[in-house]
Chain A
């Protein structure tokens, strides 16, 4: 029988993988994919808690809003990555280094 804990373990794994991608990837697009994993792990939590825990729909509603926000965030982020790519011809983050000190 699959219960709340299975979902929580999957979600924690997703969160960790997302964090790992954010911390280790050089390519900005890969980092964005890691961020998506983090947001979706929270979504999974919300929906699982809503289904198995509290019995109310607040968590599922929250998850719908998070999906919308994630789409908006990625749209803006990809636009910036694209502009920066046009200016520098590379998507790598460690070459974005004119601001330092």
Chain B
């Protein structure tokens, strides 16, 4: 009881989200008039309150709820990023054409539920909590993907997502059960303790086997090769707001738990914060996966014509770059990962927003319908150019800073890592090609002169402008943002 009383004040954002979630469900069930508008406003308010409640948590470090959940500066950073992602999705995608005629109340409830589980996943400190929150994120995402009840694509995407997700997380669970058997505990810091002191009469390859199983779950959440197969189909079939959300929030939470698991579950005490226990060469394994992830994503994106599918492959490639921050297994690597996720949030949501706005107007996701967009909507095209250049990593934009930090973290690891940085750079060049192809189609190609002029409602213009500003302006206050990321680097790792 004392433990709960001690923990609750440190659980503010999650409690606020839960209260909001219950209210949204009750209001939706009571069926008042204009309930969608009320619920939308209530959801946004809940997210903002939760975001504000994150601020007082900064600086505290320790376990809460008997070691189930951990609170540290990095947890606070991820909480803020994850809540901001949900709030931005809510603000940016208000009445998409795809979801017309369907009640929005359930969508808001699902969004809040998945936000809570994202926060829990990013702060899990026990294998049971880790698995529980991972599944909670997944199951709510499955429902969100199938939101278009009468649409075959949406349901097919969800079915593929469920079957793939259930198998990956099932494999992960099997790995977790073996890890429990090896160490005799489910608490992540205690597991590290057990691994550090050495395990008696163990088969030396056992940690490898466990790690491969466990990585299936992380890889599924972050869409890393070879657990990416669901990603293009799900991103294409899901309603675009859901796609945009899935491409940023659960991915960020997946990277948070990946970093946390390796840092507080596998690192050796006293040998420097990032030296991992056991004879397993973690950086090598992760490096190979990261190279495969970015290369496959970029190469497959080259030939896509459906914009959602193209951005899905692009997001796989970005998962590969973000993994560079995990591979480095250093403070600078972790900082690069945080900066990259911060940048990725704005650039990827921006790109998906433009795709949705074009669909709202023209009813198409096909790149072949994009010619002449520049003449019909010059400002929207300019905004898309900013997002795409940011995704490419062109200097004054925030996407460049993300790439800069992760590449720097890799290069400083020494000459044996340089080939990896070169592969990353080559990949960025390949990616530049297909992003530039979208730009060329919108600006240079002629066509669609007979289509009606592009109408963009005022709120949409504001959101697009805001996201452009978020891609361009952070460089002006970069020292602040860098400081924020640096002060968030501390991870709780047991007593």
Interface residues, chain A, with chain B CB atoms under 8 Å away: 8, 15, 18-19, 22, 28, 31-32, 35, 38-39, 41-43, 45-46, 48-49, 53-56, 58-59, 61-62, 65-66, 69, 72-73, 76-77, 80-81, 83-84, 87-88, 93, 96, 98-101
Which A residues touch B143, using CB under 8 A? 76
Q: Which residues of B contact A100 (CB under 8 A)?
A: 233
Q: Is the interface of A mostly helix, strand, loop or mixed?
A: helix
Task: Determine if B180 and A59 form an interchain contact, defined as CB atoms under 8 angstroms apart.
Answer: yes
**Is B267's CB within 8 Å of the partner chain A?**
no
State in angstroms the CA–CA spacing of A52 and B449 once bound together. 74
Chain A residue nearest to B151 in the complex (CB): A87
Which of A38, A54, A62 contacts B167 (CB under 8 A)?
Answer: A38
Shortest C-beta distance, A65 to chain B (Å), equals 6
For the complex of A and B, the 4 pairs showing the least CB-CB separation, nearest first, are: A54-B184, A45-B177, A38-B170, A49-B181
Q: Which residues of B pack against A, CB within 8 Å?
A: 127-128, 131-132, 135, 138-139, 142-143, 146, 149-150, 152-153, 155-160, 162-163, 166-167, 170-171, 173-174, 176-178, 180-181, 184-187, 232-233, 236-237, 304, 306, 309
Chain B interface, DSSP helix/strand/loop, else mixed: helix
* Neighbour of A45 across the interface among B153, B158, B163, B174, CB < 8 A: B174
Check if B152 sits within 8 Å of A58, measured CB to CB: no
Q: Measured between alpha carbons, how far is A18 from B170 in the docked complex, in Å?
A: 10
Q: Please give me the residue from chain B that is nearest to A47 by CB atom.
A: B177
A42 CB to closest chain B CB (Å) equals 4
Does A80 lie within 8 Å of B132, measured CB to CB? no
**B152 pairs with A98, CB closer than 8 A:** yes
Residue in A28, A58, A72, A99 with the greatest tally of chain B CB atoms within 10 Å:
A99
Q: How far is the CB of A32 from chain B (nearest CB, A)?
A: 8
Indicate whether A99 sits within 8 Å of B157 (C-beta atoms), given known contacts A59-B186, A72-B139: yes
Could you list 12 further interchain pairs (A-B, Cβ under 8 angstroms) beyond the known A45-B180, A73-B166? A35-B163, A38-B170, A39-B173, A42-B170, A58-B185, A62-B131, A69-B132, A80-B142, A80-B159, A87-B155, A96-B160, A99-B157
Does A84 contact B152, Cβ atoms closer than 8 Å? yes
B162-A46 in contact (CB<8A): no
Q: How far is the CA of A93 from the CA of B160 in the complex (A)?
A: 9
Smallest Cβ-Cβ distance to A19: which chain B residue:
B167
With A53-B181, A59-B180, A69-B135 already in contact, the answer to whether A77 and B156 are too (CB < 8 A) is no
CB atoms of B127 and A73 under 8 A apart: no
User: Nearest Cβ distance between residue A10 and chain B, in whole angstroms?
Assistant: 13
Given contacts A31-B163, A80-B155, contact A69 B180 (CB under 8 A): no
Can you list 19 pairs linking A and B with CB atoms under 8 Å apart?
Answer: A8-B181, A15-B174, A32-B163, A35-B163, A35-B166, A45-B174, A48-B181, A49-B180, A54-B184, A58-B128, A58-B185, A65-B131, A73-B139, A73-B166, A83-B155, A93-B159, A99-B156, A99-B236, A99-B237
